[in-house]
Amino acid sequence: MFWGLGRLLTLLFCCVVLANQLVPFVHPLHLLVNLAGGLLLLIHLLEVLLCNRSLKGRPHPWRDRGRILLFGVFHLQSIPAPAAPEASSHA
């Protein structure tokens, strides 16, 4: 439930940032919303870059990248961890 609420709030914030682009809020609120939106986008871009290697084996890696750009860590938590390679025994 926590991850779903996080996704919903992130999507709502993205809608606020887009609305601010169409009809700017009052000064200085529009600057703060743009700054927060830019920082969030930067963080999500870093998450995509850092998790790019683990997405290569996924069925739809580009869809996952898009969802990470939109939802960030809330989508990353829904991706199952890759299976750990079995340790080989040295005799």
Q: pLDDT by residue (tens digit) across 10-62?
A: 889 989 999 999 998 888 899 999 999 999 989 989 988 888 887 777 788 78
What is the reported pTM?
A: 0.72
CA distances from 36 to 1, 32, 53, 67, 74 (A): 25, 6, 27, 19, 18
- And the tokens for 38? 């830019």
